[in-house]
Amino acid sequence: MPSGSHSRKTFIIFLALLYIFFIGWFVKLWINGQTEDIENLWTNFYGIIPILGGVYGLAVARHWGGLKSAVGRATIFLSLGLITWGIGIAIWIFYNLVLNVEVPYPSWADAAFIVSWPLWGIGSIYLSRATGAKFGLKNKGGKVILLIVPVIIIALSYYFLVSVARGGTLVDFSSESFLKIFFDLAYPIGDVVILTLATLIYGLSYKYFGGKYRYAIYLILLAFVFNYLADFTFSYTTTVETYYNGSLADVLFTTTMFIFSLGIALLDIRSSQAINSKNT
């Protein structure tokens, strides 16, 4: 079996096993009703998934020519975003296990999480250049999507995070810090911006990119959707004080990072080269 194809297959299988392991762990906690045990804190080691995905992605980018190609640059920035997000979880775990802070939010972990946004945003822009999204923007339908979708999602986020979770009060410094209010709204809104870029990348210009990589772009787009749902769920549950380590928000974050890493792995050009050489 060709080395490139073999390495990708091995990585995907290992990644899938890790994902199944942590999902099973979350289900066990839910069945047992565990919300404040030390075992809940250890589930945060799911952060190994984005770090592995990011490191593998940097190797994938090298085979695309690194910074010399649009896809290479896109893969680099998307992968760095995964790594910085994983660093954020590592900081979160430090608060959990060393500083005995069960829910360190907001904290220095957010400084790492938020760095992933511009990295993913830049990666999406480079990926749009590789897929020809600029052609899609010439269409009236593309412009409508660009305008309508973010407005709807932001409006819904505001309604649930402010009108529902806070009873219509946005700023209440007597019970919440300014940083928490900022991150509660900034995370979902930032996700909407990236999700919109990602939607434009595939929804408007998929035909300009090689068909064999459409599943990779599908998965990256789906990961941004799950990331929005995860950030929204986290912000909402921490506001209504129902969040705990290993809860639904962490299930969504784990799923996000698994899908994202899988999408990056499917961009591995080595497997395609191996198949082509095998057929010639």
The domain limits of the chain are: 3-279
d(CA 69, CA 56): 18
Q: What tens digit of pLDDT does each residue of 103-156 get? A: 998 899 999 999 998 899 899 888 877 665 554 555 556 566 666 766 776 666
pLDDT over 70 at 7, yes or no = yes
Q: What is the pLDDT of residue 166?
A: 47
What are the backbone angles phi and psi of residue 234, rounded to the nearest 5°? -65, -50
Contact 216/8 with Cβ under 8 angstroms? no
Q: Tell me the CATH class for 3-279.
A: mainly alpha
The pLDDT of residue 1: 37
How many whole angstroms separate alpha carbon 99 and alpha carbon 101? 6
Q: Where is mean pLDDT largest: 42-56, 104-118, 218-232?
A: 42-56
Contact of 188 with 158, CB cutoff 8 Å: no
CB 228 within 8 A of CB 192: yes
Residue predicted with more confidence, 84 or 171:
84
Average pLDDT along the chain: 81
- State the DSSP code for 65: T
Give the pTM.
Answer: 0.84
Question: 135-161: b or e for each residue (b if 16 or more CB lie within 10 Å)?
Answer: ebeeeeebeebbeebbeebeeebeebb
Only one residue has tokens 């309508």, namely 148
Q: Using one digit for the tens of pLDDT, what is the confidence trace for 158-204?
A: 655 555 444 555 555 444 567 777 777 777 777 777 777 666 665 55
Lowest pLDDT segment from 11-15, 88-92, 137-141, 171-175: 171-175
CA–CA distance, 15 with 216 (Å, rounded to integer) = 15
Is the pLDDT reported for residue 24 higher than 80? yes
Check whether 54 has a pLDDT greater than 80: yes
Specify burial of residue 10 (Cβ count, 10 A radius: 0-12, 13-18, 19+): exposed
- H helix and E strand count, the chain: 11, 0
Higher pLDDT: 96 or 224? It is: 96
Say how many residues make up the chain: 280
Distance in angstroms (rounded) separating the CA atoms of residues 162 and 185: 9
Residue type, 236: Y
Bigger pLDDT: 143 or 218? 218
Q: What number is the average pLDDT over the span 91-100?
A: 96
* Closest to 135 (Cα-Cα) out of 66, 89, 200: 200
**Helices 3-32 and 269-279 meet at what angle, rounded to 10?**
140
Cα angle for residues 29, 106, 188 (degrees, 5° grid): 80
